[in-house]
Amino acid sequence: MGPVTTAQTSGVAFLKGHGTENDFVIVPDPDNAVELSAEAVTRLCDRRAGIGADGVLHVVRSAAHPDARHMADEAEWFMDYRNSDGSVAEMCGNGVRVFARYLQRAGHAEAGEIAVATRGGVKNVHIAKPGPGSDEGQVTVSMGRPVLPAASVTVTVGARSWPAVNVDMGNPHAVAFVDDLDHAGTLYEAPAYGPAAVYPRGVNVEFVADRGERHVAMRVHERGSGETRSCGTGACAVAVAAARRDGADPAVTGAPVTYTVDLPGGTLVITERPDGVVEMSGPAVIVAEGRIAPELLEPRS
């Protein structure tokens, strides 16, 4: 890590938000002036010695970030997303919703449509107007078209193994249908999977149980974060895999299909259209704001 910047010395503003309890530290940094090392991100996300989160949403203007300049004509803002272990991720579905809510709160966006640049491409977001009895409206993200690689995958926890559906939502997922979500164990550590060559950079693993017609529940071990209360791209992958299992592929039936997905932190509604585009709707909430203590961002020997 390079020299500590003036912004780091005086402290850096942050907000805290969550989408179905998948929680994030939000670091507004329009000019990309704050250097967030992997070590600093890990300290920020530490739930005992830091702020605590599943990841960091680094808010940067697309034109100011080398990974997003090519998207600046389509989206003014770039979600530079980091997992809680400091690694960089392509996408985070719940993160995009919270990111859009922050842009609305900061006056960079209004209810309606906004484009957000991510390493998984530009995502179109719709911020609903507040409804009766609600402080804030739902946020819907167009998550793009899934890819279902043909490779067969197996997921293992302890003595149990399941075949898994390989779904790419801009980041990799292995979706296993189980009889009981408790069979996933504690998920403190990443479930084993194979063949390893299918996921050279690791994988998000979802365990899914049926709750009713077009209604499932899931648990997830997120690559780089461990088990989380929610995963937006994971919920999308689950709905896509369930539609194929249930013979409801919209490209075949010609009709959109919607699944309700229950997660430990709340409920998301996932719709796949006949053109292949997947849309995700759910809440996004900002719960706090403050300033980061400089020592959390300083390099350590």
Report yes or no: 171 and 161 within 8 Å, Cβ to Cβ. Answer: no
* Closest of 235, 159, 236 to residue 192, by C-alpha: 159
Phi, psi dihedrals of residue 181, rounded to the nearest 5° = -65, -25
DSSP three-state, residue 131: coil
Q: Of 92, 117, 235, 261, which one is the catalytic site residue?
A: 92
* Cα–Cα dist 81/269, whole Å: 23
Report yes or no: 32 and 3 within 8 Å, Cβ to Cβ. Answer: no
Joined together, the tokens standing for residue 137 give 């409206």
231 carries an active-site annotation: yes
* Cα–Cα dist 7/266, whole Å: 36
45 carries an active-site annotation: no
Amino acid code (one letter) for 221: H
Q: Of 71, 116, 231, 261, which one is the catalytic site residue?
A: 231
Report yes or no: 198 and 185 within 8 Å, Cβ to Cβ. Answer: no
Q: Are strands 112-118 and 121-127 parallel, antiparallel or unpaired?
A: antiparallel
Report yes or no: 22 and 53 within 8 Å, Cβ to Cβ. Answer: no
- Annotated binding residues for substrate: 22, 83, 93-94, 171, 204, 222-223, 232-233
Residue numbers annotated as active site: 92, 231
